[in-house]
Amino acid sequence: MSADARPVGPAATREPVLSVRDLVVHFAGRRKTTVRAVDGVSFDIAPAEILALVGESGCGKSTIALSVMRLIEPTSGTILAGGEDLARLRGRRLRRARERVQMIFQDPFGSLNARRSVYDTVVEPLVIHGIASSKEERRQRVNEALELAHLTPPERLAQSYPHELSGGQRQRVAIASAMVLRPPLVVADEPVSMLDVSARAGILRLMMDLRDRLGTSYLFITHDLATAWVVADRIAVLYLGRVVEIGRSTDVVAAPAHPYTRALLEVSADEERLSTDEPVAVLPGEAPSAARVPPGCRFHPRCPRYVALGEPEACRVADPTLGPAPTAGEGHQVACHFPLGENP
Ligand code: SF4
């Protein structure tokens, strides 16, 4: 097993809900280039664990989420959930597997059909998967899901339409729709980034509450390390399709070992940016492109530590793999030849 494939953190000691190994997703790009959107990513998620995938736009985090949902085809690698490799399932077995993994999307305005009532939206997974045969049972399960999402009274909310709801309420409907099947794993792709600040806190609290009450695990996708720190047990930082740092949230945020993680932290500390949620350049230098992955350490053209250390050759020629971080925190790993917290 490669260093990248090593299970870390709580997931190493409990049977994982999701186990991703050496996931690769490559696309054909323009002018015969290969877009290496995901380039060998491994991680586990334990029961009732929230793992955040953090990185800039284009780092591969949403591609990983869509691969887990099998909304795009992985090039290679395995995605084990419930004893089956989701990357290889087809037809009926794939549909059955999808009962166990549900998704919440970024846009609560676009992800709901304006012409469908809340009831119609939340009942849909039960209908698709042929669960709850009687009308009364379906209504009961929809009401329970709405209550779980704190949409009360459920009977009244079920008759509402998206235009009658706030952004936060719409995202709660999306969560109710994901939870109606009581899946062990939910993939949440930037679920709060389009909400105002007050609604964000409520949605994050709700997700953590569902984790505590039902034991739901989450693969939580975000560009914002501060949000990840609030919600996640562990954080995996992605750069150009690779995990460059992974560990318990407290270790990654309190003692980042990778220069890119530190750069993300500095952006997250900018409260003005947090309130507007404008996309920002994390670091100066050319925006990263998965069609032009640099040789050696893929971060070296933008790495302030590379410059500070006098541009060592190792950074230009050798691709670093994950290894123990200097913090020695449980499962804290970093892919850097000269991690922060280590001399010089
Ligand atoms: Fe920077 Fe070198 Fe570490 Fe890459 S290996 S992050 S270039 S110091």
Structure confidence by residue, pLDDT tens digits, 63-96:
999 999 999 999 999 999 988 999 998 888 888 8
Contacts of 271 (CB under 8 A, 6+ apart): none
Question: Can you give the pLDDT at residue 132?
Answer: 78
Q: Position 329: which residue type?
A: G
Ligand 1 center to 312 CA (angstroms): 9
- 68 inside domain: no
- Ligand 1 centre distance from Cα of residue 268 (Å): 21
Residue 170 lies in a domain: yes
Mutate to test the pocket of ligand 1, among 261, 283, 297, 340 (most ligand atoms within 8 A of CB): 297
Task: Tell me if 216 is assigned to some domain.
Answer: no
What is the tally of structural domains in the chain?
A: 2
User: Pairing between strand 76-81 and 18-28?
Assistant: antiparallel
Find the farthest-apart pair of alpha carbons in the chain and give their distance in angstroms, rounded: 70
From 142, 167, 182, the end of a domain falls on 182
CA distance 78 to 98: 16
For atom 6 of ligand 1, the residue with the nearest CA is 336
Average pLDDT (120-131) is: 92
What is the pLDDT at residue 99? 87
Domain extent for 324: 253-334
Structure tokens at 225: 């390390």
CA of 53 to the centre of ligand 1 (A): 20
* Atom number in ligand 1 closest to CA 298: 4
If you take atom 3 of ligand 1, which residue's CA is the nearest one?
336
Q: What is the pLDDT of residue 8?
A: 45
- Could you give the CA distance from residue 236 to residue 244 in angstroms, rounded to a whole number? 8
In terms of C-beta density within 10 A (0-12 exposed, 13-18 middle, 19 or more buried), how is residue 2 classed?
A: exposed
CA 194–ligand 1 middle distance (angstroms): 33
Residue 1 within any structural domain of the chain: no
Q: Count CA atoms within 13 Å of residue 335 on its CB side.
A: 29
Confidence band for 287, pLDDT divided at 50, 70 and 90: low
**What is the per-residue pLDDT across 146-165, written as a single tens digit (0 to 9) for each?**
999 999 999 999 999 999 99
Distance from the alpha carbon of residue 28 to the mean position of ligand 1, in angstroms: 28
Residue 210 lies in a domain: no
> Which residues form ligand 1's pocket by a CB distance below 6 Å?
258-259, 297, 299-300, 303, 305-306, 315, 320, 336-338
Q: Are 309 and 344 in contact (CB under 8 A)?
A: yes
The token duo for 41 is: 């990513």
34 in any annotated domain: no
Q: Would you say residue 77 lies in a domain?
A: no
Last residue of a domain, one of 182, 206, 225: 182
pLDDT at 284: 67
Whether 26 contacts 37, CB under 8 Å? yes
Pocket test for ligand 1, best of 240, 305, 317, 321 (most atoms within 8 A of CB): 305
CB 102 within 8 A of CB 68: no
CA dihedral 185, 189, 193, 194 (to 10 degrees): -110
| Residue ending a domain, choose from 182, 214, 230 | 182
Are the C-beta atoms of residues 334 and 257 closer than 8 Å to each other? yes
Instruction: Kindly state the percentage of the chain with pLDDT values over 70.
Output: 90
CB-based contacts of 142, cutoff 8 Å, min separation 6: 119, 122, 123, 126, 154, 158, 176, 180
Atom of ligand 1 at shortest range from CA of 309: 8
The residues facing 235 across adjacent strands are 52, 247
pLDDT at 12: 45
Q: Which residues contact 239 (CB under 8 A, 6 or more apart)?
A: 55, 56, 59, 260, 288, 298, 299
Instruction: Classify 82 in phi/psi space as left (phi over 0), alpha (psi -120 to 50) or beta.
Output: left
**Band of the pLDDT at 3, cuts 50, 70, 90?**
very low
Angle at 78 between CA 77 and CA 82, to 5 degrees: 170
Mean pLDDT, residues 101-120 taken together: 86
How many whole angstroms from 336 Cα to the centroid of ligand 1? Answer: 5
Residue 46 falls within a domain, yes or no?
no
